[in-house]
């Protein structure tokens, strides 16, 4: 087969990167080869580690949880592999105090160097090693401001107990564990955690405890290799409830029954996912519902998804979050983006997979409502960013920036639309076979966009060339904006909603009987698509009919407050303040604060609310909002 020069070069460089990454035959590679890797697309600009020189393989973590000082202390004992000429191993750290470091079984502390801190990346920890070094034991404690950790006071939880949880993605694992904090570096782990006697600690493993242990000492093992951003820990008065043999839920004690009811379909979701893309690789699949300050909807920590309580709507209408996090067990956790520039490989695939799981359980009409709403979100984001903004490319360039900058709709929803177009181009049967083979061929591996494009070209496009004549893959992945051939998603269930919007807009008519059986998606479509400019009277009427203000469904409340802010409708202010002081999910915070600061009055309100609410938010949300509200860090 014929290959052009640039492709051939990419292939060679890719191959040598793999060889070096696994630390094999590193001596045979000259330093010029290493230089080549440092400049290629596989290079991770968000980690100081040099895995081609010395790389971690297994972690034994031993930590004491101190709720008095709000710190973790103990040691990380890393088993390593290295090239024959490796003189040092480099770890990522952020705000950690390194107490001492020992090598192998020797208890004599060695000298090490902790470099000065970079604003985004933290401090590189350089540890000298020799040919006989097999393990590096780092004794340390975290700072009270560790970015991954959120220490909750009893009043911030439902059960009025202390609570701690971590959020490691994208590059915050280094703030609670000295690690090689890049998504292309995988390791297995075991851990021992000591916590107060009345609390339970759970981690990203399949063998979590299911009841509180009288001693406060817990042991864990994750035998599957994972990247550091999937390291996770939650500690609180947590209880467990079984859903089926391999699925269950964890939540604060007073929430357990509610959560178990809401997520009753978890078992069916795992079955549906396996039918689509092959066996679930992680043993158990559990979900823990955290207190409301959790900054994300969910985090796909292996075996144990971390989830926001804002999806406990009481009617199972927001369970697609579980489908999403479960889908990451394939796209993300099994086959991982090699760098944060390839983030769409994690999230675009997961959005696509989420929709397929939802379709299998609840029908296409239902899943297409969610897909349609995602496209609406994407169009708003594209409008905000500007169509020519380089951040609207699927393949990002986050060099010198916080990878958090890339975690927006583009990776998720443009990625989704691209994969949906692939399905529609080639037909579902062939597409599913292709995806299955993609995951099977890249299990427990980290992959770049270029790896995917090559696999796609070889296994799908070349054999079915005629079908792809009008699809420009490179435009979708490497160019800005949304290509014109993006699928339009027509939703039958929205026809009725659109009718109601028309009646309201043209005749001021509100027919309450029609909306009686609407689920969250229909309500969101309604709120998001009534005219952007409404009179006070119109908003009064809507609220009187539908009770949006103070609605216990966070999605609906959030969309309504956003609409009201756009119209300077101040009757929501106290309910919105209560909402913003009780929920820490960044998806809600950012649009609301962002809209408030567009007017002078709103700015004052935003600062007033933020002053009260900030202490209750996770650092991930704090950082974003500090910047938005131009506060000094």
Closest separation between CB of residue 348 and Zn ion, Å? 10
* Residue 491 C-alpha from the chain's centroid: 28
CA distance 207 to 222: 8
**Could you tell me if 57 and 188 are in contact, meaning their C-beta atoms sit under 8 angstroms apart?**
yes
Q: Is the dihedral of CA 382, 294, 370, 397 positive or negative?
A: positive
Q: Give whichever of 327 and 572 is closer to Zn ion, judged by the CB atom.
A: 327
**Could you tell me if 420 and 371 are in contact, meaning their C-beta atoms sit under 8 angstroms apart?**
yes
Q: Give whichever of 41 and 296 is closer to Zn ion, judged by the CB atom.
A: 296
Q: Give whichever of 352 and 617 is closer to Zn ion, judged by the CB atom.
A: 352
Q: From 109-117, 169-177, 341-349, 438-446, give the range in contact with Zn ion by CB under 5 A.
A: 341-349
Closest separation between CB of residue 39 and Zn ion, Å? 30
DSSP-derived letter for residue 153 is P
Closest separation between CB of residue 298 and Zn ion, Å? 7
Nearest CA-CA partner of 522 in 493, 550, 547, 544: 493
Pull the structure tokens for residue 602: 């709103």
Q: From 348-356, 402-410, 431-439, 493-501, give the range in contact with Zn ion by CB under 5 A.
A: 348-356
Q: Give the DSSP H/E element, type plus range, for residue 622.
A: helix 619-628
Q: Is the dihedral of CA 300, 345, 376, 431 positive or negative?
A: negative
Q: From 55-63, 151-159, 166-174, 342-350, give the range in contact with Zn ion by CB under 5 A.
A: 342-350
Nearest CA-CA partner of 76 in 202, 204, 180, 149: 180
* Residue 248 C-alpha from the chain's centroid: 21
Please indicate whether residue 412 is annotated as part of the active site: yes
Pull the structure tokens for residue 457: 């070209």
Q: Give whichever of 181 and 347 is closer to Zn ion, judged by the CB atom.
A: 347
Please indicate whether residue 113 is annotated as part of the active site: no
Environment class of residue 69 by beta-carbon count within 10 Å: exposed (0-12), middle (13-18) or buried (19+)?
exposed
List Cβ neighbours of 626 (8 Å cut-off, separation of 6 or more).
632, 633
Q: Give whichever of 237 and 347 is closer to Zn ion, judged by the CB atom.
A: 347
CA distance 119 to 612: 27
Q: Give whichever of 265 and 347 is closer to Zn ion, judged by the CB atom.
A: 347
**Could you tell me if 25 and 84 are in contact, meaning their C-beta atoms sit under 8 angstroms apart?**
no
Based on C-alpha coordinates, what's the Rg of the chain?
25
3-class SS letters over 515-572: HHHCCHHHHHHHHHHCCCCCCHHHHHHHHHHHCCCCCCCHHHHHHHHHHHHHCCCHHH
- Residue 305 lies near Zn ion (rule: CB under 5 A): no
Nearest CA-CA partner of 497 in 516, 480, 482: 516
Closest separation between CB of residue 618 and Zn ion, Å? 17
Instruction: Give phi and psi for 235, each to the nearest 5.
Output: -135, 130
Nearest residue to Zn ion, by Cβ distance, number only:
350
Q: Give whichever of 347 and 522 is closer to Zn ion, judged by the CB atom.
A: 347
Closest separation between CB of residue 166 and Zn ion, Å? 17
* Residue 290 C-alpha from the chain's centroid: 15
Q: From 343-351, 419-427, 482-490, 597-605, give the range in contact with Zn ion by CB under 5 A.
A: 343-351
Q: From 130-138, 182-190, 345-353, 614-622, give the range in contact with Zn ion by CB under 5 A.
A: 345-353
Closest separation between CB of residue 620 and Zn ion, Å? 14
Q: Give whichever of 141 and 395 is closer to Zn ion, judged by the CB atom.
A: 395
CA distance 108 to 159: 45
Q: From 349-357, 390-398, 555-563, 600-608, give the range in contact with Zn ion by CB under 5 A.
A: 349-357
Q: What number of other Cβ atoms are within 10 A of residue 470's Cβ? A: 7
Closest separation between CB of residue 352 and Zn ion, Å? 11
DSSP-derived letter for residue 266 is H
Q: What number of other Cβ atoms are within 10 A of residue 154's Cβ? A: 11
Closest separation between CB of residue 350 and Zn ion, Å? 5
**Which residues partner with 203 through β-bridges?**
233
Catalytic one of 277, 352, 412, 617: 412
Cα dihedral angle (48, 50, 54, 58), rounded to 10 degrees? 60
Closest separation between CB of residue 324 and Zn ion, Å? 6
Closest separation between CB of residue 626 and Zn ion, Å? 24
Largest CA distance in the chain: 82
Catalytic one of 325, 370, 423, 522: 325
CA of 169: how far to CAs of 147, 220, 302, 360, in Å? 11, 21, 13, 29
Residues 264-283 contacting Zn ion, CB under 5 A? none
Q: Give whichever of 252 and 300 is closer to Zn ion, judged by the CB atom.
A: 300
Residues 489-548 contacting Zn ion, CB under 5 A? none
Q: How many residues of this chain bind Zn ion (CB under 5 A)?
A: 2
Q: From 100-108, 114-122, 229-237, 347-355, give the range in contact with Zn ion by CB under 5 A.
A: 347-355
- Sole binder of Zn ion in the list 310, 320, 350, 551 (CB under 5 A): 350
Q: What number of other Cβ atoms are within 10 A of residue 574's Cβ? A: 11
Q: Give whichever of 362 and 416 is closer to Zn ion, judged by the CB atom.
A: 416
Q: Give whichever of 347 and 450 is closer to Zn ion, judged by the CB atom.
A: 347
Closest separation between CB of residue 8 and Zn ion, Å? 35
**Could you tell me if 185 and 227 are in contact, meaning their C-beta atoms sit under 8 angstroms apart?**
yes
Q: What number of other Cβ atoms are within 10 A of residue 475's Cβ? A: 13
Active-site residues, by number, are 325, 412
Q: Which residues bind Zn ion (CB under 5 A)?
A: 347, 350
């Amino acid at each position: 087969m014929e290959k052009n020069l640039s492709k051939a070069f990419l292939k060679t460089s890719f191959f040598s990167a793999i060889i070096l990454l696994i630390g094999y035959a590193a001596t045979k590679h000259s330093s010029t080869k290493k230089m080549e890797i440092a400049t290629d697309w596989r290079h991770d600009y968000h980690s100081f580690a040099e895995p081609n020189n010395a790389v971690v393989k297994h972690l034994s973590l031993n930590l004491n949880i101190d709720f008095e000082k709000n710190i973790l202390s103990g040691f990380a004992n890393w088993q390593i592999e290295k090239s024959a000429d490796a003189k040092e191993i480099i770890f990522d750290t952020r705000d950690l105090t390194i107490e001492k470091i020992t090598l192998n079984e020797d208890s004599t502390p060695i000298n090490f160097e902790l470099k000065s801190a970079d604003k985004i990346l933290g401090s590189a920890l350089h540890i000298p090693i020799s040919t006989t070094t097999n393990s590096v034991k780092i004794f340390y404690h975290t700072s009270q401001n560790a970015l991954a950790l959120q220490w909750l006071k009893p009043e911030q939880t439902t059960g009025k107990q202390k609570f701690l949880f971590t959020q490691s993605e994208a590059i915050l694992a280094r703030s609670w564990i000295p690690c090689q904090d890049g998504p292309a570096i995988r390791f297995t782990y075991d851990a021992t955690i000591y916590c107060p006697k009345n609390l339970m600690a759970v981690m990203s493993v399949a063998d979590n405890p299911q009841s509180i242990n009288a001693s406060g000492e817990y042991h864990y093992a994750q035998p599957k290799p994972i990247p550091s951003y999937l390291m996770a820990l939650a500690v609180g008065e947590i209880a467990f409830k079984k859903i089926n043999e391999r699925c269950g839920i964890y939540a604060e004690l007073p929430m357990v029954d509610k959560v178990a009811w809401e997520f009753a379909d978890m078992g069916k979701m795992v079955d549906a996912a396996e039918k689509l893309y092959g066996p679930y690789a992680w043993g158990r699949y559990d979900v823990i519902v955290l207190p409301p300050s959790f900054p994300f909807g969910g985090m796909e920590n292996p075996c144990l998804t971390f989830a926001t309580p804002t999806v406990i709507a009481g009617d199972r209408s927001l369970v697609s979050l579980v489908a999403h996090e479960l889908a990451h067990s394939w796209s993300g956790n099994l086959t991982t983006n090699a760098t944060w520039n390839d983030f769409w490989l994690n999230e675009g695939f997961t959005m696509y997979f989420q929709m397929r799981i939802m379709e299998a359980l609840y029908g296409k009409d239902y899943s297409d409502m969610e897909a349609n709403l995602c496209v609406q979100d994407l169009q708003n984001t594209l409008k905000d960013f500007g169509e020519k903004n380089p951040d609207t490319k699927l393949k990002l360039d986050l060099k010198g920036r916080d990878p958090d900058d890339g975690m927006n709709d583009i990776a998720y929803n443009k990625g989704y639309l691209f994969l949906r177009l692939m399905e529609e181009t080639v037909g579902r049967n062939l597409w599913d076979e292709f995806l299955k083979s993609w995951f099977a061929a890249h299990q427990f591996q980290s992959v770049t966009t270029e790896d995917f494009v090559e696999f796609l070209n070889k296994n799908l496009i070349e054999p079915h060339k005629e079908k792809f004549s009008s699809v420009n893959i490179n435009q979708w992945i490497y160019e800005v904006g949304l290509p014109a051939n993006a699928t339009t998603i027509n939703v039958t269930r929205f026809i009725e909603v659109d009718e109601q919007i028309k009646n309201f807009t043209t005749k001021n008519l509100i027919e309450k009987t029609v909306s009686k059986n609407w689920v969250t998606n229909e309500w969101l479509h309604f709120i998001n698509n009534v005219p952007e400019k409404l009179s006070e009277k119109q908003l009064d009427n809507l609220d009187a009919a539908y009770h949006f203000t103070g609605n216990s469904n966070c999605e609906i409340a959030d969309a309504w407050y956003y609409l009201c802010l756009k119209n300077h409708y101040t009757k929501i202010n106290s309910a919105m303040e209560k909402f913003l002081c009780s929920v820490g999910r960044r998806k809600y915070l950012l649009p609301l604060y962002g809209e408030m600061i567009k007017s002078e009055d709103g700015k004052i309100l935003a600062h007033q609310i933020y002053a009260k609410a900030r202490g209750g938010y996770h650092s991930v949300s704090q950082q974003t909002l500090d910047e938005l509200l131009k506060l000094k860090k």
